[in-house]
Structure 1
Amino acid sequence: MRHLLAVAAGLVVLASSASLSACSAPVPPRSAAPSPTPTGPAVLPAPSGGHPVGTTVLHLKDTSRPDPWDLDADARELKVTLWYPAERRDGKRAPYMTPRESELFLKGSRITGVPSDILSRTRTNAVQDAEPTGRNLPLVVLSPGFTKPLSTLTSLAEDLAGRGYVVAGIDHTHESYATTLAGGRVAECLACDSDTDPGFGAVVVRGRAADVSFVLDQLPSRWDGAARIDRSRIAMAGQSIGGASAVAAMVQDPRVRAGIDMDGTTYARIPKGGFTKPFMFIGSPEHAPGGRDTTWDRDWKLLTGWKRWIVLKGADHQSFTDIPVLAGALGIEPADARLTPARAAELTRTYVAAFLDLHLKGRRQPVLDGPSARHPEVEHHTPELSGPR
């Protein structure tokens, strides 16, 4: 199975030699590459949009199906975090993780030498339970990589909310090191025991697509601000296997009209007759045409609608998450000095927002049309035309 670098420690230090495993166990740092001194709690970059950002958490239970990983659970429980434009900027900032989630994430990632609660002290920008504002807002569903909680996509989610989107991020229970459920119960990674099974990736994306459909079903009745959403304008983005799940959700649910895969090996099968919904691949050089991962080459041919294949030079698997921004707090050496954490976050936000602005808001985005002098790290690939532009 293709490898999608599991989590921070091994990913950032070993990016040059690690394989892309969708579901592999984390790799500890090399002893030959000592970590720098931790810098203390991290601060997420401020959203670039003009709206204040609020956030709230929903706990949902799907009684129509059992949990695929916990054989003792006859219902699927999910934690859904919403980010949205808010009326005011003042108020209590939402936590990035709980201390227990931080502890389990560090343990699973084999990161030592820092306080166990360090990630719970990360400074976010969204105000907890703030009053939402706006109307006819497009909705973006976010799905994280395997073993990682949704919180590792917080910077992107806050930025999209600041630009006028509602974001519904899903913690897929038992597929990350820690998910806090209703009542404070913490679910750990039961799926981690199965990640080498044949067909595992296909099972995961099928289950995540079902999670997405259930959340879309439930949102109107479970969130007071849901009337502000334009349910005809829904897209999905995900990192790693979360990006692969965007393909699966789009194929299965007609409500999801556009999608983005951020550096994820794909598993869901696209109809042989082609797939016309807008889609964007954005990834590291591992996912360039003819690179180590060949699933994008396979699926590109079946995408018959608007499509883009973008590669960030100097990026690694975690460049599309908060992990590079957290690296200093975790005492982790950045993977590649050519793409700083701040620049990786800026490019991810820019191209994800451009895609969504084009396909959910109908606003032309020249940055998606080809190379840009402002973004020299970005390669636009069109394999049928032989090479990057």
Structure 2
Amino acid sequence: MGSPADAAGAPAGQRPALCLPEPTGPCPAGTTSLWLTDTSRPDPWAAGAVARELMVSLWYPAATPEGRPAPYMTAAESELQLASRSITGIPPDALSTVETNAVSSATPAGQQRSLPLVVLSPGFTSPRSTLTALAEDLASHGYVVAGIDHTYESFATVFPDGRVTTCLAREARRRGSGSQEKVAAGRAADVSFVLGELTGAHPAWPAAGLIDPSRIAMAGHSAGGAAAIAAMLADPRIRAGIDMDGATVAPIPDHGLSRPFLFLGKQSNYTPGSGSAVTTPRDWKLLRGAVSTWERDWELLTGWKRWLVVAGAVHASFTDFGLLADQAGMDIGAGLSGARSLDITRAYVRAFFDQHLLGRPQALLDQPSPRYPEVTFCSP
């Protein structure tokens, strides 16, 4: 579902059963949404918009598992996401029926200033909901997670007043006026603004006092992963970062970036030196464009770092879409099931944050594990 695909799925009128795996942690998860407005800057994509509006989902440990699970996305968002990806083999509202695990507006649990905060940034054209399975899992282990919809960079974002914004940034990039650098810089600004709204003197979330402002990190997929480095360079509050399958764009200064960083990508595009075996100019450009950015940045990451690749993964494997595509009967070309790839993503992402935000050393990050033979440690 991360890209247009043939949907050889359910017969017409038959709705596939779509659901996210249960979180693995001891805490029930809650969730809520925030509508935030940054009046300090105009929107980078919408001409005439004098402020930047964002929708943010929060996931967090809840006091009780009782309540109604939150919707995955609205029917309008589902229809636009599927249509924009030319996916027609499932009902247009199918993504709005995905069964989640976090309880809507559940009472948060935790002591004041005790919970680490992780920001999640989705891929270009994708909504914040595509990282829900990862967010729910982190919340069940005691994290507050803020998933950001980068307005006009998703195929669809619905605001509480009924407006539905579309992917203006994609049109701008087609006209040559929306560079990858602009996306990364804009997302870095979005992240810094959201951090201020959650940890500042007048927080936008009533339970924001639970967040420990000294323990903040970020992970992203694709453009969101690329934005993790941009955000870390712009905001020292972000102590650690993860790039999941995203070619990076923000240049790291010559003095380097000393905070912990994890590259987690598909083996086909992100194995060091993988461009050398490619024969066609187009494939060489695609592969080297991905790998070379990580190779360039690796030398300038001067703190704790790891470079992991996953055999059989495709771009969508690090998101919910790999799993949901499997459930819908769609073949996205992965050699790894969506359920397995989510298990791997959850395990390594949480291990990274447990080690660098909670101070709990993780053997999983030190060497290959027999539990996850698909994961290779790279040493460029």
| TM-score, L = length of structure 1 | 0.89
Q: Does 1:101 align with 2:95?
A: no
Q: Which residue of 2 aligns with 1:232?
A: 214
The separation in 2 between residues aligned to 1:82 and 1:242, in whole angstroms, is 17
User: 1:363 pairs with 360, 363, 380, which one?
Assistant: 360
Q: CA deviation at 1:113?
A: 2.5
Q: Deviations for 1:314-366, whole angstroms, at most 9, x for unmatched residues?
A: 111111000111114544114234x1111100000000000000000000100
Q: Does 1:287 align with 2:266?
A: no
Q: Which residue of 1 aligns with 2:245?
A: 263
Q: Does 1:164 align with 2:161?
A: no
Q: CA deviation at 1:187?
A: 0.7
3-state SS of paired residue (2:48): coil
User: 2:2 pairs with 8, 11, 27, which one?
Assistant: 8
Q: CA RMSD in A?
A: 1.4
Q: Aligned pair count?
A: 355
Q: Which residue of 1 aligns with 2:131?
A: 153
Q: Which residue of 1 aligns with 2:309?
A: 311
Distance verdict in 2 for CA 1:183–1:199, change over 3 Å: closer
Q: Does 1:344 align with 2:341?
A: yes
Identity of aligned residues (%): 56
Q: CA deviation at 1:198?
A: 6.8
Contact kept? 1:140, 1:234, Cα under 8 Å: yes
Unaligned runs of 5+ in 1: 1-6, 11-27, 384-389
Q: How does 1:109-124 map to 2 (within 5 A)?
A: 109-124=85-100
Q: Does 1:37 align with 2:5?
A: no
The separation in 2 between residues aligned to 1:82 and 1:225, in whole angstroms, is 11
3-state SS of paired residue (2:154): coil
Q: CA deviation at 1:72?
A: 2.2
The separation in 1 between residues aligned to 2:366 and 2:117, in whole angstroms, is 24
Letter of the 2:302 counterpart:
T
Contact kept? 1:150, 1:170, Cα under 8 Å: yes
Contact kept? 1:318, 1:324, Cα under 8 Å: yes
Q: CA deviation at 1:87?
A: 0.5
The separation in 2 between residues aligned to 1:195 and 1:235, in whole angstroms, is 29
Contact kept? 1:111, 1:330, Cα under 8 Å: no
Q: How does 1:49-60 map to 2 (within 5 A)?
A: 49-60=25-36
Distance verdict in 2 for CA 1:198–1:303, change over 3 Å: farther
Q: Which residue of 2 aligns with 1:223?
A: 205
Contact kept? 2:217, 2:239, Cα under 8 Å: yes
Letter of the 1:143 counterpart:
S
| TM-score, L = length of structure 2 | 0.91
Q: Which residue of 1 aligns with 2:229?
A: 247
Unaligned runs of 5+ in 2: 275-286
Letter of the 1:256 counterpart:
I
The separation in 2 between residues aligned to 1:35 and 1:113, in whole angstroms, is 6
The separation in 1 between residues aligned to 2:217 and 2:147, in whole angstroms, is 12
Q: Which residue of 2 aligns with 1:353?
A: 350
Contact kept? 2:39, 2:52, Cα under 8 Å: yes
Contact kept? 2:10, 2:89, Cα under 8 Å: no
The separation in 2 between residues aligned to 1:324 and 1:263, in whole angstroms, is 14
Q: CA deviation at 1:199?
A: 6.8
